Chains A and B, each alone.
Chain A
């Protein structure tokens, strides 16, 4: 079974802090994705990566950056956390090719106070 592991289920941080969310997959997938999920807005793509050190902006990249130094690990960075970044963050991975299903982790619920 595909396993996508997110480092924290719940995280509480303060405004202005630099926040790191980590995601690891064990299926040798080329693609990795970061989404946020908000009530009424659904899942929105923040960034994705199709190879090590490669990244592409999604629909809402502002205020975020990403890092992919190893194939299995994809990090989401909130450069200076703000309260409007309070959300559920979901990581996903897939084999290369858009018709490959994405497999999701169980999410990190991040609260910015």
Chain B
């Protein structure tokens, strides 16, 4: 059974304190991995798609990387507005995403 594990479950940082979130997966034949951000009371918002090991994508203070078994979301010098739950979702088969349970990130000013 395909599994996705995100760690840590929750992370509290000070403003400006960089860190990384981890997404480990066992989906075979990975065809893509998606990162989403979800704010309380809202639907997930698309951030990145990664297609192959070694690929990196960046957006403002966020950078996503992919290996054969893991993806990392690096957050550099975060601000309070980066506080959210971050979800990763490998693509299983042709159309189906398998979501991890998310990392709840809090950035204190």
Contact = CB atoms under 8 A, between A and B. Distances in A.
Contacts, number: 54
B91 A43 contact: no
Give the dominant DSSP class at B's interface. Answer: loop
Contact of A101 (B34, B42, B94, B95): B34
A76 to B, nearest CB: 15
Interface in A26-41: 31, 40-41
Interface string A95-113: 0011101111111000000
Interface residues of B, number: 24
16 contacts: A42-B100, A48-B95, A90-B44, A97-B95, A98-B31, A98-B93, A98-B94, A98-B96, A99-B31, A99-B91, A101-B34, A101-B46, A102-B46, A107-B41, A107-B42, A107-B43
